[in-house]
Amino acid sequence: MIAGLDGLRFQHWQTELRPDGVLVLSFDKAGTPVNTFSQDVLIELDALLERLALDPPKALVLRSAKASGFIAGADIKEFQTFDQKGTVGDAIRRGQQTFQRLAEMPFPTVAAIHGFCMGGGTEISLACRYRVASNDPSTRIGLPEVKLGIYPGWGGSVRLPHLIGAPAAFDMMLTGRTLSASAARANGLVDKVTDASTLVDVAVALALRGTQRPFKQRLLGWATNTLPARKLLAPMLTKQVARKAPKAHYPAPYALINTWANSGGGVQARLSAERKSVVKLASTPTARNLIRVFFLQERLKGLGGKDHGITHVHVVGAGVMGGDIAAWSAYKGFEVTLQDREQRFIDGALTRAQELFAKRVKDDSKRPAVAARLKGDLAGDGVPTADLVIEAIIENPEAKRELYTSVEPRLKPDALLTTNTSSIPLTELREHIARPAQFAGLHYFNPVALMPLVEIVQHDRLDPDAVQRLAAFCKALDKFPVPVAGTPGFLVNRVLFPYMLEAATAFAEGIPGPAIDKAAVKFGMPMGPIELIDTVGLDVAAGVGAELAPFLGLPIPAALATPPQPGKRGKKDGQGLYKWENGKAVKPELPKDYQVPSDLEDRLILPLLNEAVACLHDGVVTDADLLDAGVIFGTGFAPFRGGPIQYVREAGADALLARLQTLHARYGDRFAPRPGWDSPLLRAGKDSTATAA
């Protein structure tokens, strides 16, 4: 034992002095399955490092004692409380001081990384002299703070550009993108890559022998951080960010670039600039809402356990949705059989599946095994052995019920039967179902590979155990499950439909599509509604409209009233409301003198908010947090606004209601306030936050 540590007891840190004089410091946060940095963890670490500086070992290796991974980053829940108390600056200062103490140790220090290494985990590794990572697929290194509306504040934004060069550093920090061990080795973030079994031994050897970074890497780290380089690169980085994230919506990337560009001097001066900038960002509505979205995400993950009992999935319907659901299920490890009435539809789906596997499975040797899990099944022979059947045929209640009549008698006793219907009430579909307790909706969104949400559609005779199994299945697919009531449109389509309907109405009035789309994107939507209608398909939009418009009492404009002409269904045909080329909408330029109607944004957004309020009132989901989560992850609703209900709270329910009433008087009953605007839940406070389940 090192004399300086003699008699000290640590709650979160374990020390082992090896015979070769290297101290192995293992992080094992008490009472949690995952390592995160809370203030008590940092206080302990700082005290430990202070003692080691006085009685140094030959070297130090920092590792995780948890099998789950290295370090997930800061304790976000604790960070949230600091924001509420106004003590974020103190918390950041402590992290910076502790990590700087590590960086100044008079002996070699090595971070031994296995599994996830995120945020503060990456920042403490940067404070070490060297880094070794395991080549396990679970090892991912990243700085995702920008997704929380801030940026690395424990020295990460100071150290990373100098280590790997500004371009590579900003690629990581501005996107939140994570790197594999090999990719981190290639750009100089990691010094060595090895097997997990030899990780500590390799780290010890590196600590004792040291290594010289390649001259090119050292030169890049120096040259791209000089004042002339910063002044040259900063505008280029800003321009790059502006293409994807407006400054008014997402200030963090701009603050990061600006702080780096304008901060010179020694490391303490740069750390001080970093701290002041991050503290300012932490108090913005964007950061608070993005942190809220983080907890919403964690809650959805928590809805699904591990016990789904599903190994074989049978999908009926090899169209775009059915085929893509089948392919994604196979990619995620399930045995899948895919049925349709004609082989040509199955063949088309299998071809698309191969494209998905080629894109997602980077290791060529593993791709055949993934592809082998997906089999065409024209005759439906997979039904008797399936644990889960997913129906994804046309939106026709009679056709669906006819299918269930033929499929259900062939199912195993514990098999689940589900439908991917996007709008038909389950009470209508469950007629003649012999086992309604095991029948549910499993509503995916297009494109399946990209959209993270799946609605688990319920009805009054559904077994809660079936809901749990389906939630666990969604989790195994890396999807977020949201249980919803089986009323028309469920949650996402019901909330989205009035928004798209009003966009189509404005379009029919002669307001140019690009003007409509621009207004929605300015609010923060990821895509304009006219482009969205084309992307979904005018045929699908018309089908959903036929189901939802009567239920919501809304008139349908001509563009969505009838099925589109052949070859004009939108993106998939190359022609819809827009012309499409190479997968992109060709939007005509607006006349220079065109004046956008002053109430256009309200006309688009308020119907969406109006229906969200009604869904909460009607109990489509159990609470406001689930509603916000469903709409964010199902529609892309501006995450920085925290979800529709959170936006209503922040903007003021009474103020929005007054604007809605103005539109009602101007345009008629489609803007009539829906039930629920008098709810106290809409006036729960601007800082209403979600908590992890």
**Which residue numbers are catalytic?**
443
Question: Helix and strand tally (H, E) in the chain?
Answer: 28, 19
Give the tokens for residue 611: 């229906």
Q: Are 326 and 349 in contact (CB under 8 A)?
A: yes
Q: Count of CB atoms within 10 A of residue 205's CB? A: 18
Number of C-beta neighbours around residue 156 at 10 A: 26
Q: What are the start-end ranges of the H helices in 440-523?
A: 464-476, 492-508, 513-523
Q: Is the peptide bond before 397 cis (omega within 30 degrees of 0)?
A: no
Distance CA 363, CA 500 (A): 41
CA distance 120 to 78: 14
Strand 439-443 vs strand 453-458: parallel, antiparallel, or unpaired?
antiparallel
Dihedral angle, C-alpha 527, 492, 652, 689, nearest 10 °: -100
According to DSSP, the β-strands at 312-316 and 388-391 are: parallel
CA-to-CA dists, residue 126 to 63, 110, 542, 598, angstroms: 14, 9, 54, 50
End-to-end CA distance of the chain: 41
Among residues 251, 250, 271, the alpha carbon closest in space to that of 260 is found at 271
- Neighbouring-strand partners of residue 35: none
Q: What is the DSSP secondary structure assignment for residue 438, as one 8-state letter?
A: G
d(CA 471, CA 129): 44
Handedness of CA 307, 308, 310, 311 (dihedral sign): negative
- Residue 20 three-state SS: coil
Burial class, 500, CB count within 10 angstroms (exposed 0-12 / middle 13-18 / buried 19+): buried
Tell me if residue 525 falls in helix, strand or coil.
Answer: coil
Contact between 395 and 543 under an 8 Å Cβ cutoff? The reply is yes
| 388 three-class SS | strand
Which two three-digit tokens encode residue 300? Answer: 């959805």
Which two three-digit tokens encode residue 363?
A: 């290791």
In the structure encoding, which two tokens stand for residue 445, read together? 């969104």
What one-character DSSP code corresponds to residue 210? -
